[in-house]
Structure formats: C-alpha cells, structure tokens
Amino acid sequence: MNRPLRLRLMLRDLGTGAAFASMAVSGQVPVWALGLVGLALILALMDRRPFARAPRLTAVLLLPLAGALYLAVAAGQMDLVVAACSFAGLVASQRLLSETSPATDGQVLLAGLLMIAGGAALSGELLFAVCLLAFAVMASLSLGLAVVEAAVPLGEPVPVRQVMRPLAMGTLIAMIGAVAFFILFPRLNWNLGVRRASPGLGTATSGFSDTVRLGGSGTLKSNPRVVLRAKLTPDPGIEQLGSYWLGRTYDTFDGMEWSTIGAPSKRSRTRVTLRPGAEKQVYQRIDLLPAYGSRTLIALETPAKLGNALAHTPTGDKRTQLKELGGDELRFVEEGLGYSYEVYSVPPGTDTDPGKMDQREADQLLALPDNLDPRVEELAHQVVGDEKDPLTAANKLASWLQREYQYTLELSGDVADPLGDFLFDRKAGHCEHFATALTLMLRTQGFESRLATGFFGGERVGDEYIVRAGDAHAWTHVLVPGRGFVTVDATPPAFRANQSMQLLESLVSIYEAIESAWRASVVDYSFRDQMDFMRELSRPPSTPDKERRQLPPLRAWLTAALVGAAVYWTWKYLSRRKPRTRAQEATRFVDAVERQLAVVGLRPRDGETLEDVSARLTREAHPLAPTVSPLTRRYLEARFGQRPLEPGEAARMLKDLKQAVDAQKQRAPSARAS
C-alpha cells in the first residue's frame, strides 16, 4: 500500500483545525478542550499518530468524556451547544491521531462539518467566516488529492503538480457556486435559527463603576476596540458625529474620587422616561458589544426615553428590564455579553429643565470637599470675576483651562491632592482632570454643576455609527435656570475622542467595515433581501411620470452582459479542451489494453480497474508488469491529469504491449514443455 500523501494529510488536518477555530473564536469553548484539540493538531501536523495502534480503545475512552459533558449540561454548568461542540472537537482529535485511511479521512471531514455548524451556532461572526472559508478550501483540496491518490497504481508517484491547478480551479468554481446558491436560493434569516452572543477575543475594555477615581493613567484613550454600534434616525449623514454619549453623572467629590448620593430605585421597568421629549427627537437603535463590559445604558445626550432592551447571552436573547440608579444611570437587570435597546434623545440645545429636585441632591451640586485647596476658589474668581450667568462663567473657565493646561495620558499615579497637582504643579492631565477642575471651580463661585461620564465621538461605518473604547470621556454639566443641565467641556477639542495609533485605528476600522458588510450580507441576509436584490437588479428607476415605460437600468444590462460573457467563456474553454473527446480516447485506449492482456489470460477480476491489474502484476513480479505499468500511468494522465494522448502515441504503446504479449505467449508453451 502506498504511503499516504503528506500534502493531503496536512490539508485535511489544517482544515480540521480551521473548523475547530470557527467554534473557538466565539470564546465559549472550554480551555481544556482548546488544549486537547490544539495538542492533537500539533501531533497530527508532525505526522505523529499514537492512536493508530489502539483505535478502538481510544474511541471507547470518548464515552466517559461524553458522560462528563452530559452531567455538566444536566447540572447547568455548561450550555448544551457548547458541550456538543467540545465533544465534536474531541472526536476529531481522536480521528486525527488514528491510522490514516479513506474511512478515517471521511470521519475527520465529517467532524469538521459538525464543528463548522457549531461555530455558526455559537457566533457566526467575521472570524467565523474566515475559518469557514479556510476549511472549505483545504477540505476540498484534500478530497481532490484523495481521489487522485486512489487512482495511482501501487508504487507510482502521485502527480501533485499536474493536478493542483485543476483542483484549485475546481475549488474556486465550487466557492463561486456556493455564493451564488446562497444569494439566489430561498432561505431564512440566519438569526431566526441562531441567536447567540460571543464574548469575542479579549476581555472587556470599558464600562462604568460606582466611583471615578481621579489620578492614574489614561491608557483607555488609546484603545481602538469598538464598544457600541448605533443606527440613528434621522440619519445625520456625516462621517464624524462628534456627539456626547451619556452613561451616568456624579455629584459628590471627596478630594480623590467622585460618587453619587442618589439612591437606586427598587422598581424595574421595561421602559423608562427620564424627561419629557421635544418635538424632534433623535431615535437610536444601539448595540452594546462584548468589549463594552458593563450593564449601564449609553445614549446620545440628552436621553428622554429608553426601552425594548435585549440581553444577548450564550444561550440566546432575553428580554431585560431596566433599573434606575442615582446619577441618571440606567442598568440592565439581566446579565449579558452584549445588549440591544432603543432610545429617544432630545436634540442638543433643547431646554430640559429638571424641575424641582430633591433638596439633598440639589445641595450636592454645590458641595465641595473638606480638604479643597483654597487656591482653587481664588483661581476661579480670577477667571470668572463677577459673572453671574452660570453658562457664561462655565465657558470662560473651559476656555481658560484649554488655553493654560496641557492634555496628557502620562501621569505619575496617585497623589494626595490630584486636583491641586493638576492645577498648580503638573498643569497637565486627561479629561477627568479637566472636567473635575471645571466642575469644582464653578461650585466655588456658587454655580451648580456635576461631572458627566460616557463617550465622545461617533465614526460612520456603513449606515451605522461606531464608538470605540478610546472614546471614553468625562465632561461637566452646569445647571442653567430655565434650561436644565447644559454640557460644557473643558478638555481641548483635539483630545476628546480616542487617542489610538492611526495605523491601528485604520486596521480596526477596516475590520469593522468588513464585519458590518458580513453581518448585512450574510448573517442578516434573508428572503426579503433576495427579493430586493432581484428587484433592484431589474426594475427601471422610478420617475414622476409613472405612465411612461422605461427600459431596464444600466446595471441590469451590465449584469446580463457579465453573465453572457461568463457563459460564453465557459463554453469556449470547455470546447477548446474537448474533455469528452479526451475521455473517449482514453477509454478506447484502456479497452484496447485490456483486450491485449486477455489474450494471455490476464482479465480484470470483479471490481478491478486497470490500475488494480497493474498493481497486481507488480506484486506478483509478472513479466508484463514493466510494460503495463507505464501504460497505466499514461492512461491516468490522459484521463485525469489534463495531459491528452498525442497523435499516434496510443498506437505505439499498444504495439509495444502486443510485442510483449506475443513474447509472453511464446514463453508460455516452452515453459509447459520443459
């Protein structure tokens, strides 16, 4: 038996690894499963298959593992889909390390298909698409090489170079056909059957805590990961949004950190109205991604109504209620990897007078820490003077801070008086320092204010806006009589959005754009999208004159031309190659060879092909073996290797075979006589 083709095995093993990776990118596969499958893949790629000696015993060992997974699911310690995916990885590992055979190859690739299905159930995100493509290509090439390898006579080399080009072309055509089938064949939306959230690669990078500690480094500002996607109505239609996304506010500062005295509400609701809405509200459909890592709702400033929230969990989507906390913060009741919800916000500049406030909360808007440096009040008075209007005073202070102080993310760490250190010593800080300085300086002059935190920015990707972890920001709310809280930002404008490296940000933006296209074109692609695609492709553009009949649009003509050109090119290519003529010529050739061999009694046994006859003659050291072997190889090249028989070549080889057969016939009587 020939030694299995190394390239074929490597493609098979790497394809299986890609199939397992399609599940692993969801972040839900247990660490022990990752370790075991990874070790098995490394051994298989090194051509070490220790289970080949005891395949049945190692297969039996899978039973207790299956039982353990079942008990984990029954006890609620593991999701059923995750357990099934993990077991599929273990089965694939056992087959990878077993003896190589056609049956083993089929089992390995079948396990790969099951793992691809598991990956689709667990996430179906962009990285899953990459793994799916890798598995499809490598599995197809491996299967093609297996067919060629099985057709090569014993002891003959496999014509890898000759067959790789047609195999690659066939794989490409198969991929194009699969895409066309996906687009045109009636189907349901992927999400109707799969509603699973993935924690993604890496830990969450942002979020909200009950306090904001002043000091430390601002490394979050350099993180380009996307934490929020939002679709706005009406659509601003601009590339950079430059808006404030409010999460919560803080009213109490003790000299080191901010907190909120407001008590959380004991009641949970599906919809929350924070303030009366204006006539023109901004609607937002927001998705908080796993990179966000918090249960606090985010909305464009100033949010009025929030609701219709879904928590995305590994086992599916769940409706979740909202709980109101102090500082205008709303939190999801259910724990989830990500969240989706709807928000209505009043446009910037709209009066949102909070009305009568709780006296204790109102007092906190002027509260100062006991250990406040007296120079803070003196400095604020120098800038503000005798100004009585709170908004004018706030703008004066913000402009002065932006002019006199530097923005930096490189700080020395905790100090005894972080505000004094910022204002009088270092004179450099990040957004929390600027916002804290403005808020407290306003309070020293009798103007009510508080600290607000959330994000600043909004970058357009497709028809949505994304917000990055580095867009995390802090600013000031000053209370203006008759208008409510108004945003004033003391941080220099150039440093409000994320401060990540341009190259890294560009790469993440490209990834997000591709992922957005993947979600729109594949994950969310449905029968309705198919109908829209065909309708847009063929219908004429709408005009005010409805009675006037128009020809199909230019895109329809271009599509028809491309399809016609593809059909013509395929027909011409197939006609030039004349595969049927070659196949018939090769078939006639092998029939003639078999007739010559039958003269000396060498007829194929049941189910034997010419390759099998040639291999049998080689094993038996038959005198005709040296003549039949090259004939068989030449037949395979003409039939499968894209190398047709040259004119007169078949006649010459048959003549040589006839001479060898005649010589064998002459030797046979003499052997019997002796």
Q: What is the CATH number of the domain that holds 339?
A: 3.10.620.30
Closest by CA to 318, choosing from 306, 309, 331, 330, is 309
Q: Between 532 and 369, where is the model more confident?
A: 369
How far is residue 148's CA from residue 135's CA, in Å, rounded to a whole number?
Answer: 20
Whole-Å CA distances, 615 to 86, 482, 550: 43, 97, 68
Distance CA 51, CA 59 (A): 9
332: which strand partners?
Answer: 322
Same domain, 238 and 297: yes
| Total number of domains constituting the chain | 4
Look at residue 41 and tell me if it is in a domain: yes
pLDDT attached to residue 136: 92
Residue appearing with tokens 């002027």: 366
Based on the fold, state whether residues 245 and 284 are members of the same structural domain: yes
Average pLDDT on 92-115 reads 88
Only one residue has tokens 């709303």, namely: 330
Residue 435 has pLDDT above 90, yes or no: yes
**Which has the closest alpha carbon to 285: 508, 66, 509, 465?**
465
In a domain, 23, yes or no: yes
DSSP-assigned letter for residue 541: P
Residues 553, 420, single domain; the answer is no
Domain that holds residue 567: 539-577
Query: How much is the pLDDT for 593?
Result: 85
Could you say which DSSP state residue 153 is in?
Answer: P
Task: Round to whole Å and give the CA distance between 73 and 529.
Answer: 37
Q: Are residues 478 and 435 in contact, defined by beta-carbon separation less than 8 angstroms?
A: no
pLDDT tens column, 203-214: 555 567 778 888
Pick from 98, 91, 113: nearest CA to 43: 98
Q: Which of 513, 531, 547 delimits the end of a domain?
A: 513
Q: Is residue 199 part of a domain?
A: no
Beta bridge partners of 252: 259
What are the C-alpha distances in Å from 434 to residues 187, 403, 428, 634? Answer: 54, 12, 9, 82
Measured CA to CA, the distance from residue 222 to residue 200 in angstroms comes to 19
Per-residue confidence (pLDDT) for residue 576, from 0 to 100: 57
For residue 523, tell me if it sits in a domain.
no
Q: Which has the closest alpha carbon to 173: 127, 134, 136, 132?
A: 136
Specify the 3-state DSSP secondary structure of 536. Answer: helix
- Token look-up 């497709």 returns 462
**Same domain, yes or no, for 566 and 646?**
no
pLDDT in tens, 178-203: 877 777 666 555 444 444 455 555 55
Q: Indicate if 341 and 372 belong to the same structural domain.
A: yes
Q: What average pLDDT does range 47-65 have in this prediction?
A: 84
* Residues forming beta bridges with residue 312, ordered by sequence position: 317, 338
Quick one: pLDDT band at residue 574, thresholds 50, 70, 90?
A: low
Same domain, residue pair 285 and 158:
no
C-alpha–C-alpha distance, residues 277 and 347, integer Å: 9
Runs of H (alpha helix) within 405-526:
418-420, 431-444, 502-518
Mean pLDDT over the full length of the chain: 82
In a domain, 172, yes or no: yes
Q: Kind of pairing, strands 406-407 and 428-429?
A: parallel
**Is residue 257 located within the same domain as residue 393?**
yes
What is the structure's pLDDT at 583?
53
Q: Which percentage of the chain shows pLDDT scores above 70?
A: 81
Residue 266: per-residue pLDDT: 65
Neighbours of 174 (CB within 10 A): 13
Do 125 and 227 lie in one domain? The reply is no
Per the CB < 8 A criterion, the answer to whether 639 and 586 are in contact is yes
Identify the domain boundary among 165, 185, 205: 185
Cis? peptide before 302, omega within 30° of 0: yes
Provide the H-helix boundaries in 47-125: 55-60, 62-74, 80-96, 102-122
Residue 203 lies in a domain: no
Note whether 157 and 246 are same-domain residues: no
Same domain, 14 and 152: yes
pLDDT (tens digit per residue) in 98-107: 888 888 888 8
In a domain, 586, yes or no: yes
**Domain match, 277 and 404 both:** yes
574 HSE (CA, 13 A, CB side): 8
* Alpha-carbon dihedral angle through residues 629, 630, 631, 632, given to the nearest 10 degrees: 60
Strand (E) or helix (H) holding 468: strand 464-468
DSSP 145: H
With vertex at residue 96, the alpha carbon angle to CA 94 and CA 99, rounded to the nearest 5 degrees, is 95
Q: What is the DSSP letter of 220?
A: G
Q: Is the domain of 618 the same as that of 636? A: yes
The answer to whether position 527 is within a domain reads no
- Nearest CA-CA partner of 441 in 504, 375, 353: 375
Distance CA 578, CA 590 (A): 19
- Domain boundary (556, 577, 598) is at 577
**H or E stretch at 166:** helix 160-184
Structure-block tokens of residue 257: 């950190």
* Total Cβ atoms within 10 A of residue 320: 23
What confidence tens digit (pLDDT) does each residue in 483-528 have?
889 999 999 998 888 766 667 667 766 776 677 677 667 766 666 6
